[in-house]
Homo-oligomer: A and B are copies of this chain.
Amino acid sequence: MRRKRIGTSVPSDISQAAAADPSIDQRGRIMDVAAHLFRTKGYSGTSTREISSLIGIQKASLYHHIDSKEALLYELCVDATQRILDRATVIAAENQEPIIKLRALMRQHAITMLDSQDRHATMLIELLHGSLTGERRAAVDSLRDKYQSVLYSAIRECQQVGDVRTDWNARDLTLAALSLLNWTVFWFDDQGRLTKSQVADLLTSTFLDGVKDQH
């Protein structure tokens, strides 16, 4: 198998649709189905047989497209992390007020994450579970670190111009922001009451303003 590219041609993350859609190539289909199964059953709780079965091929045929189960997980994690880092880098480079940039960074984090919910949920959990090892683990960690630096710098900058409180340091506030944002990927329901945009508003508004009535 040769590595053709990182990620798939479509942002869709839903395995059932992916399994049927003829416009996605087989490799993209495999990644979408795998991401969905990894999120809902866990990486080690998902067998290669289940993946191939949902695609409609034999287990052995899967290995024509992927090197190994772990390599498949790796690509999903890189794709998720890279996507969020790329968009954050663009926002951070804009010539805008710090607080506007911070809000935009948080909004894109929420929305990008929910746009590829299966991949992001998988990435977050499987990094905790140590399912990626060696260089693959290091590569994904590196991308995450870069992203977190971008968010940290944005918060630090807001503090320096007096837009954000300084009784907590930027490092701690970054942890709080990430907590608020990351857990969302595990409960958000695409068919649910709230849209992605509304969730993004809820989270940024809570983080920036808090919930106490200020009047």
How distant is A63 from chain B, measured CB to nearest CB, in Å?
22
How distant is A214 from chain B, measured CB to nearest CB, in Å?
7
Complex interface: chain B residues within 8 A of A165 (CB): 209, 211-214
How distant is A173 from chain B, measured CB to nearest CB, in Å?
6
How distant is A129 from chain B, measured CB to nearest CB, in Å?
4
Whether the pair A210, B213 counts as a contact (CB closer than 8 A) is no
A210 to B162, CA, bound (A): 14
A162 to B212, CA, bound (A): 9
Which residues of A pack against B, CB within 8 Å? 39-45, 99, 121, 124-125, 128-131, 155, 162-166, 168, 172-173, 175-184, 186-187, 194, 202-203, 205-214
Whether the pair A176, B203 counts as a contact (CB closer than 8 A) is yes
Whether the pair A206, B164 counts as a contact (CB closer than 8 A) is no
A176 to B205, CA, bound (A): 10
Interface core residue of A43, A99, A180, A184 (most chain B CB under 10 Å): A180
Whether the pair B176, A180 counts as a contact (CB closer than 8 A) is yes
A45 to B131, CA, bound (A): 9
Complex interface: chain B residues within 8 A of A180 (CB): 176, 179-180, 183, 206
Not counting A45-B45, A214-B214, a sample of 15 additional A-B residue pairs whose C-beta atoms are within 8 angstroms of each other reads: A40-B129, A42-B43, A44-B44, A45-B131, A165-B209, A165-B212, A165-B214, A173-B211, A175-B202, A179-B181, A180-B180, A206-B207, A208-B211, A208-B212, A210-B210
Whether the pair A42, B40 counts as a contact (CB closer than 8 A) is no
Selected A-B contacts with CB under 8 Å, 16 pairs = A41-B44, A99-B212, A125-B125, A164-B213, A165-B213, A165-B214, A168-B211, A173-B206, A175-B202, A176-B211, A179-B180, A179-B181, A180-B180, A180-B206, A206-B210, A210-B212
Do A187 and B175 contact each other (CB < 8 Å), given the known contacts A40-B129, A44-B44?
A: yes
Look across to chain B and name the residue whose beta carbon is closest to the beta carbon of A46: B44
